[in-house]
Amino acid sequence: MRKRKAVKIRNRMRIEKNRIEAFSDGVMAIIVTIMMLNIPLPGSYSRESLTAFLFNIAVFFVSFIVVGAQWVKHLQLFTMCRDISEKVLWRNLLHLFFLSLMPLFTKWIMENPGRVLPAIAYDVLFAAVFLTFHLLHNAVLLDNKRVDEFRRRLQNQNLRRHFSWIAFSLFFLFVIAVVAVSFFVPAVSIVFFVALPVISSLFNLWVDGRGGFKKAFFHRKQKLVG
C-alpha cells in the first residue's frame, strides 16, 4: 500500500515537472515575442530614424540575451531534477513574474534613449531576475539532494558562499560609483548599465554550463533509453 502511494506521489511530481517546464517555456517565448513587437519601425529613411531603429534593435538584443540565458539555465536545472516541491513552484512563478517585466522596461529604454533612470531601472529588474533564479536554484537543489549532480552543486555552493558575499559587496560599491558618475557623465552609466546584463548573463551561463549542459542532456538521454 505504501509503495503504491509512493508511486502515485512520484508520478504526480513528474507531471508537475513537465507542466512547469511547458508553462515556463511558453512564458519565455511570449516575452521574446512581445519584446520584438515593441520595436518601433522607423518613421522615415533619414539618418536619425535609421540610427534610432538600430539602437532599438540593439536594446532588443540585450533583452533577448538575458531571456535566452535564463531559458538555458532553466532548461539545465529542470532537466536534471527529479522532484518538484510547492516551494519550487512558487519560486518559479516569482522568477517568471520579474522576467515577464522585461518587455516593459525594454520599451522604456527604447522610448527614452540617453536617459539614465530607465537604464538603472532596467538593471534593478535584471538583479531581481538574477536573485529570483538563485532562490529557485537553491530550492531545486534542496529537493534533489539524492541526485549526484545536485549533491556536487550543493557542496560547491557551500564552499563558494563566503567568497560570493565579498564579490557581491565589491560589485555593489562599483555600481554606486557608476551611479555617482552618471550625474556628471550620463553616457558612461548608460553604456555600463546596458552592457552589464549581457556580460553578466553570458558569464554566468558559461560558468554554470561548463559540462552542465552536456550532463543534462546525457541524463535525459539515459532516462529515455531506460
End-to-end CA distance of the chain: 26
Do 171 and 35 meet the contact criterion of CB atoms below 8 Å apart?
A: no
Residues 6+ apart with CB under 8 A from 222: none
DSSP codes of every residue in 108-157: HHHHSTT-HHHHHHHHHHHHHHHHHHHHHHHHHHHHTTTSHHHHHHHHHH
Q: What is the pLDDT along the chain (226 residues), one digit of tens a residue?
A: 555 555 455 544 455 688 899 999 999 999 999 999 999 999 899 999 999 999 999 889 989 988 998 998 899 888 878 778 888 999 999 999 999 999 999 999 999 987 888 888 887 888 889 889 989 988 888 877 766 555 565 555 544 544 456 666 666 677 677 767 766 766 666 677 667 767 766 676 666 555 544 554 445 545 544 5
Q: How far apart are CA 212 and CA 201, in angstroms?
A: 16
Q: Which three cell numbers stand for residue 84?
A: 518538484
Global confidence as pTM: 0.74
Q: What's the confidence (pLDDT) of residue 83?
A: 76
The span from the CA of 123 to the CA of 37, in Å, is 22
Which pLDDT does position 225 carry in this prediction?
47
Among 126, 134, 130, residue whose Cα is nearest residue 192? 126
Q: Other C-beta atoms within 10 Å of 56: how many? A: 21
Q: Which one, of 96, 209, 80, lies nearest residue 143 by Cα?
A: 80
* Cα Rg, the chain, nearest whole Å: 20
pLDDT at 121: 86
Q: Which three cell numbers stand for residue 5?
A: 502511494
Q: Residue 216: what residue type?
A: A
